[in-house]
Amino acid sequence: MVELKEYQHEQDIAISLIGQFWYAHNQEAPSYEDNKENLVEWTKEGHKLYFITHQQQIVGFVHLGSRGCEMDWLEDIFVVPDYQNRGIGTQAIALVEQLVQTYSSSLYIEASSRNIAAIRLYHKLGYNCLNTITVRKDFNDGYRVVRKDTISDLEFIIKAK
């Protein structure tokens, strides 16, 4: 059974999970201080941090944020690798949806364009309304091209390290 448990100052657990989250996304280990800074940001007013529990064990987190109104942005979701591909993230998103529906008419999720697995999951869960597009200009060419996509007849390059 998957549940969300609101963060209640379990700093060491949260900082460890945040470090694992960034490592999984960037293949770089951030410093303890950087992870602690994220925790401070993710728990200040306008944000909520929840642990994802599976069979009463903490296996990840969900970070909700506000971008001007209600906390209706699923800013970050992370399930530790040993628990991925078991439906835990899907169940956690369903719990977030139930929570957010009580005060907002929409839930927003951003995904890196190179994270096609996340994009496919979100689409499968009904996230099919394209809301915003973030574009980036690289000044250093330290990235490899993953693929190209076209939106409104404009070609965009998706890159990764």
Question: Tokens standing for 54?
Answer: 């599976």
Say what the pLDDT of residue 43 is: 96
Q: Are 21 and 76 in contact (CB under 8 A)?
A: yes
Burial of 71 per CB tally in 10 Å (0-12, 13-18, 19+): buried
pLDDT of residue 136: 83
pTM above 0.75, yes or no: yes
Q: Which pLDDT score, from 0 to 100, does residue 26 have? A: 83
**Can you tell me the distance from the alpha carbon of 95 to that of 1, in angstroms, rounded to the nearest whole number?**
12
* Domain architecture of the chain: domains with CATH: 2-132 (3.40.630.30)
Element (H, E) at 5: strand 2-6
Instruction: Answer yes or no: are the C-beta atoms of 61 and 76 closer than 8 Å.
Output: yes
The segments of the chain whose pLDDT lies below 50 read none
- Residue 117, pLDDT score: 87
